[in-house]
Amino acid sequence: MKHRVHVCLILRLFVAGIILFGTQRSATAQNLGRGDSVSPLQPGHSSEAEAKERPADTKVRAADSFARLPLSFEANQGQADPEVKFLARGQGYTLFLTRRAEAVLVLQGAAKKEKSEPSADPPAVLRMKLAGATLNPEVAGLEELAGRVNYFVGKDPREWHTDVPTYARVNFSSVYPGIDLAYYGNRQQLEYDFIVSPHANPQKIAVSFEGAEAFSVDPNGDLVLTVNKKELRFRKPVVYQEIDGRRREVASTYMLKGKRSVGFEIAAYDPSRRLIIDPTLVYSTYLGGSMGSTGALSVVADSAGNSYITGYTYATDFPTTPGVFHTNPPSPCNGCAIASAAVFVTKLNPDGSAPVFSTYVGGSADNHVTRIAIDSADDVYITGYTDSSDFPTTPGAYQTVFLGKAEPPGLQSVYNAFVAELNPTGTALIYSTYLGSSNGTQASGIAVDGAGNAFVSGSTGDGFPTTPGAFQTAYRATNPFFNAFVSKLNPAGSALVYSTYLGGSGEAQSTGIAVDASGSAYVTGFSYSADFPTTIGAFDPVFPVKNQPDRAAFVSKLNANGSTLVYSTYLGGLCDDAAYGIGVDTQNNAYVAGTTCSINFPTTPGAFETVVPFGPTNTAFSSFVTKLNPSGSGLVYSTYLDGSKYSFTLGLALDSAGDAFVLGYTNSIDFPRTPNAMQPVPAAFGYTSFVSALNPAGSSLLYSSYFGDLTAAGYGIAVDSSANAYIVGPASSGFPTTPNAFQPTNPGAQNGWSSAFVTKFSGFQPPQ
């Protein structure tokens, strides 16, 4: 059977100075029916300044890249002319897609500033047609959105149109022989792909424009049109594909075909390979209050595109929603010299414009949340550690009494871990329990299996509860060191299915946990101990030789009942190595990401970066990404990820294709970026966050970009089933946000506080 191949040409329309889309309508919408005129809206202006600044002012370009929101295409069910199949509307424009695959963009003229003015400018209309194309190609809306549109116009109910579906993508099949056309994009950009099947001829493609006063290709390769004195810019096509595991960009330019028509000149390419679509920004928002600092630390996402965020807040006015578990922060500790942090849990809707729910969780002393997870029913699980003796627990929970010790500021408290499950609406705790001993316990990772069992990992002192038959029931570290631990709680949170130490005589800390479909737990972290438990046949069962007493990363897999190590291996070299993120794919390959200063960290032939990037004579820290085979006996790939200076990894997430998304921060000005990077340059000085995506072979970057500025630090990353990526962290004022975001400005700025941020990217190529 022949494999159908996609060759995607990414073409972008940029309307300078116009905020293209307003609030998505999920209830009553303004009518634009047959023959209705478009109401005048505030106009935009031309991008003369932008033209002067490109390409030198990269900061302006980066900020412009952030100002994006997703398009929503309404199916035409009588609210527009019958020629129209789908339409999208917004502030300053209306877009119609006709049955002939024609795109009609109506740009609003300038509204009157004064009543005495004679008239407003008329709307401008740009028509994009496919010359020589199929007259009536098959059309379908794809990726249906949650929102619905209703029109209640006039007194006659027969003229009303209700429950109109909306879509993120519209596909026209066979507009030319073997070539499909898909429209999609965001609220500042209309994007469209020509999808070329094997043996089809892309030279047949010709796009003509009607309504443009000027038409040219600028020195940057952008197609520039002038319509009613407004500049419209089609970005230079970006085309690339993977060949033998390496990313290869395919050269492509616009080719003029007459005064008002263009085609595409494409260099030689392999038609049997997929191309990667440029990512775009769905939303970026602050999340915080005006009366204290807030920071997000962990994020997950469901299949509908909702994001679930957790972190800390000192804000007494953090935004909560009616009816949730706690709308007010916990009462402060009596006699505490400084304020204590509360935990927040917030669920944001898919376009980031509003919280579905938002609640405080915590006790009167200090509360530290570390990770969040959800199950198939959208119950929300959080874990962390606290020195609050009144942290909320539930009747029948495994441990309802705090066994630690809270100390005054300046002295070390003895924390207990906590595990809590919230219902899908955030209105109640299904269960909440402490987990720990009088010698201290801190949880750092949580995962949930299909039955609702919660797997928790972290670090603990002596006296931690273990279960009979567990792999390691005895504490082995020498005080004051910690051993790692792994515990599995039943779905009610009332008992331990199993609980085990994991460590040797030296320090061992777990930083993350993942679970596969069979219930096996994969744990990562770091250990200083040469007698950390490893298994025969594992990739590296012997503690690596070190230049000084440094850590080595470890990866361990426990069987479903926690009684045996399926495998356990060290991972490292001569210098300090630590892993901070872990994931497992459907084939039970384990992926870990972390930081190393080892010039001999194990890498694999053909990996993206096999040699230490900062040079063998310069000791610095670099990120690494490693993929272990299902038996833990070998590396599928292992690579460095950095430039010439320092890089630290904080998170890892996987998509369904086995692409690894990595989040961290760096002070390397030459950190590897891809040509489609949203932010190609770092902050002016110091450290800047980065986000990168590696292909399943670990041989090339699908995407890599700097992210944010000195005030923003990415701490958590997640990927949903549609390969949308979510990043969270703390940020001060100046972080770029998008129109219609829930909090487009930092609510704590006036009082000098930081807030959390939540950013969602879309457009990473899903599996074909």
- The candidate with the shortest Cα–Cα distance to 662, out of 711, 614, 701, is 701
Maximum mean pLDDT: which of 21-35, 140-154, 633-647: 633-647
> Is the model's pLDDT at 215 over the cut of 90?
no
Task: Give Cα separations from 93 to 84, 90, 101, 123 (angstroms).
Answer: 16, 6, 19, 9
| Residue 6 pLDDT grade (very low, low, confident, very high; cuts 50, 70, 90) | very low
| Residue 249 pLDDT grade (very low, low, confident, very high; cuts 50, 70, 90) | low
For 283-333, the pLDDT digits (tens) are 899 999 999 999 999 999 998 889 999 999 999 999 999 999 999 998 776
Q: How far apart are CA 556 and CA 512, in angstroms?
A: 11
Segment 687-716 mean pLDDT: 88
Residue 64 lies in a domain: yes
Segment 598-606 mean pLDDT: 95
Residue 52 lies in a domain: yes
Residue 46 lies in a domain: yes
pLDDT of residue 37: 22
- Could you tell me which residue, 26 or 696, shows the higher pLDDT? 696
Helix or strand holding residue 148 (H, E): strand 138-151
Segment 83-93 mean pLDDT: 78
For 656-684, the pLDDT digits (tens) are 889 999 999 998 888 998 877 778 888 76
- Could you tell me which residue, 726 or 265, shows the higher pLDDT? 726
Residue 603 φ/ψ, nearest 5 degrees: -120, 170
Maximum mean pLDDT: which of 19-28, 77-86, 186-195, 725-734: 725-734
Q: How far apart are CA 535 and CA 435, in angstroms?
A: 28
Task: Record the tokens describing residue 441, joined without a space.
Answer: 């316990």
Share of the chain above pLDDT 70, in %: 78
Residue 753 lies in a domain: no
How far is C-alpha 164 from the geometric centre of its chain's CA atoms?
Answer: 29
Contact (Cβ atoms closer than 8 angstroms) between residue 718 and residue 726: yes
Residue-range definition of the domain harbouring residue 25? 10-278
Name the pairing type of β-strands 294-301 and 280-287: unpaired
- Could you tell me which residue, 104 or 245, shows the higher pLDDT? 104
Task: Record the tokens describing residue 621, joined without a space.
Answer: 């820290």
Maximum mean pLDDT: which of 269-278, 334-343, 504-513, 718-727: 504-513
Task: Record the tokens describing residue 568, joined without a space.
Answer: 């356990």
> Is the model's pLDDT at 2 over the cut of 50?
no
pLDDT of residue 476: 95
> Is the model's pLDDT at 50 over the cut of 70?
no
Quick count: other Cβ atoms within 10 Å of Cβ 207?
23
Contact (Cβ atoms closer than 8 angstroms) between residue 293 and residue 751: no
Q: How far apart are CA 96 and CA 571, in angstroms?
A: 55
Maximum mean pLDDT: which of 174-178, 615-619, 692-696: 692-696
- 151-154 CB contacts, 8 Å cutoff, 24+ apart: 151/28, 151/29, 151/31, 151/33, 151/79, 152/28, 153/31, 153/33
DSSP conformation class of 404: S
Segment 244-252 mean pLDDT: 58
- The candidate with the shortest Cα–Cα distance to 222, out of 50, 11, 423, is 11
| Residue 106 pLDDT grade (very low, low, confident, very high; cuts 50, 70, 90) | confident
Residue 88 lies in a domain: yes
- Say which range, 374-378, 413-417, 444-448, has the weakest mean pLDDT: 413-417
Residue 183 lies in a domain: yes
For 255-288, the pLDDT digits (tens) are 777 667 887 777 777 666 544 445 667 789 999 9
| Residue 17 pLDDT grade (very low, low, confident, very high; cuts 50, 70, 90) | very low
- Say which range, 15-19, 76-80, 419-423, has the weakest mean pLDDT: 15-19
| Residue 44 pLDDT grade (very low, low, confident, very high; cuts 50, 70, 90) | very low
* Residues facing 400 on adjacent strands: none
| Residue 153 pLDDT grade (very low, low, confident, very high; cuts 50, 70, 90) | low
Contact (Cβ atoms closer than 8 angstroms) between residue 610 and residue 647: no
Within 13 A of 113's CA, how many CA atoms are on the CB side? 1
- The candidate with the shortest Cα–Cα distance to 281, out of 351, 354, 192, is 351
> Is the model's pLDDT at 407 over the cut of 50?
yes
Share of the chain above pLDDT 90, in %: 47
- The candidate with the shortest Cα–Cα distance to 383, out of 359, 417, 360, is 417
Task: Record the tokens describing residue 198, joined without a space.
Answer: 């094997």
> Is the model's pLDDT at 126 over the cut of 90?
no
> Is the model's pLDDT at 35 over the cut of 50?
no
pLDDT of residue 465: 97
Supply angle C-alpha 582, 586, 590, rounded to 5. 30
Count how many domains the chain has: 1
Task: Give Cα separations from 28 to 248, 318, 430, 720 (angstroms).
Answer: 47, 30, 36, 30
For 546-595, the pLDDT digits (tens) are 988 899 999 999 999 999 999 999 999 999 999 999 999 999 999 999 99
pLDDT of residue 174: 86
Supply angle C-alpha 680, 287, 433, rounded to 5. 115
Residue 229 lies in a domain: yes
Peptide bond into 329 cis (omega under 30): no
- The candidate with the shortest Cα–Cα distance to 664, out of 640, 697, 687, is 687
- Could you tell me which residue, 514 or 16, shows the higher pLDDT? 514
pLDDT of residue 336: 63
Residue 2 lies in a domain: no
Mean pLDDT of the chain: 81
pLDDT of residue 400: 97
> Is the model's pLDDT at 9 over the cut of 60?
no
Q: How far apart are CA 580 and CA 381, in angstroms?
A: 20
Q: How far apart are CA 579 and CA 592, in angstroms?
A: 6
Burial class (CB in 10 A: 0-12, 13-18, 19+), 39: exposed
Task: Record the tokens describing residue 245, joined without a space.
Answer: 């595991």
One DSSP character per residue, 565-621 reads EEEEEEE--SS-EEEEEEEE-TT--EEEEEEE--TT----TT-S--S-TT-TTS---
> Is the model's pLDDT at 607 over the cut of 70?
yes
> Is the model's pLDDT at 457 over the cut of 60?
yes
pLDDT of residue 411: 59
Within 13 A of 297's CA, how many CA atoms are on the CB side? 19
pLDDT of residue 233: 67
For 544-553, the pLDDT digits (tens) are 999 888 999 9
- Say which range, 74-78, 252-256, 454-458, has the weakest mean pLDDT: 252-256
DSSP conformation class of 537: T
Task: Record the tokens describing residue 125, joined without a space.
Answer: 């209309």
pLDDT of residue 92: 65
- The candidate with the shortest Cα–Cα distance to 501, out of 448, 556, 578, is 556
> Is the model's pLDDT at 618 over the cut of 90?
no
